[in-house]
Amino acid sequence: MNTAGYDSPGYERLQSQVIPGYGSLARLAVALLAVSPAARAPGAAVLVAGCGTGAELVEAVAQRPDWQLTAIDPSDEMLEESRQRLADQAGIDWRQTTAEALVDQPGIAGRFAGALSVLVLQSLPDDGSKLAFLSALARSLQPGAQLVLVDLMQTSLPSLEGQLEQAWAGFQRASGLDPLPAARHQGLHPVGLARLTSLVNAAGFGDPARVFQALGFEGFLLQRRA
């Protein structure tokens, strides 16, 4: 996904022109996690993995000001943009790191009552990198805690693939953009539902429950096995 221009209004405007429903993703993801079995508790510790320019953090602070948030991103430009945007929110634990490196830091394994990963897994190749990311998130969570995962997926109906790609290009054109090339040409690595299920099961989660979808962008609830 194009991450050119890290100022949050510019970045998020572009994301809204490319990703159907982007304007609601963070709000929906936080609303789902806020009523999850563990993160519904007051003062729950919540991890925002791949916080980018801070869309999920803005929503988390608005909906659940009681949450103890840890925000991570390996990109110092993204993390800095996010940090400036949420400058008046004392108490966020900012870390420039990946989920895979975070989990080995002291006090992280089993710490979180919930986690959000929005549009991160899609950029990792399925060569062990996706499994390492998901396994790190599972290890960071308390048993029974949930992850809200939003990602670009391969369609489960190959006969519709061409139509969905054309519709995605049409969506971008109608949003005033020259359409980006198909996902496979953008360095993205979407997987299908069967592969996602096998990855999340191997990582320590139960089966993914789809909670929303717009074209190829799908949202899932994953529960760490007890």
Ligand X SMILES: C[S@@+](CC[C@H](N)C(=O)[O-])C[C@H]1O[C@@H](n2cnc3c(N)ncnc32)[C@H](O)[C@@H]1O
Write out the E strands in 52-125.
68-72, 93-95, 112-118
Q: How many CB atoms lie within 10 A of CB 161?
A: 13
- Contacting ligand X within 184-223 (CB under 6 A): none
Buried b (16+ CB within 10 A) or exposed e, 108-133: beebbbbbbbbbbbbbbeeeeebbbb
x-marked contacts with ligand X along 21-60 as a string, rule CB under 6 A: ----------------------------xx-x--xx----
Q: Binding of ligand X at residue 14 (CB under 6 A)? A: no
Which amino acid is residue 32, in one-letter code? L
By beta-carbon proximity to ligand X, the closer residue of 23 and 37 is: 23
> How many chain residues interact with ligand X (CB under 6 A)?
21
Q: Binding of ligand X at residue 183 (CB under 6 A)? A: no
The radius of gyration computed from the CA coordinates of the chain, to the nearest angstrom, equals 17
Cβ 223 to ligand X shortest distance, Å: 20
- Contacting ligand X within 94-113 (CB under 6 A): 98-100
Beta bridge partners of 213: 218
Binding site residues, ligand X, CB under 6 A: 1, 3, 15, 49-50, 52, 55-56, 72-75, 78, 98-100, 118-120, 123, 133
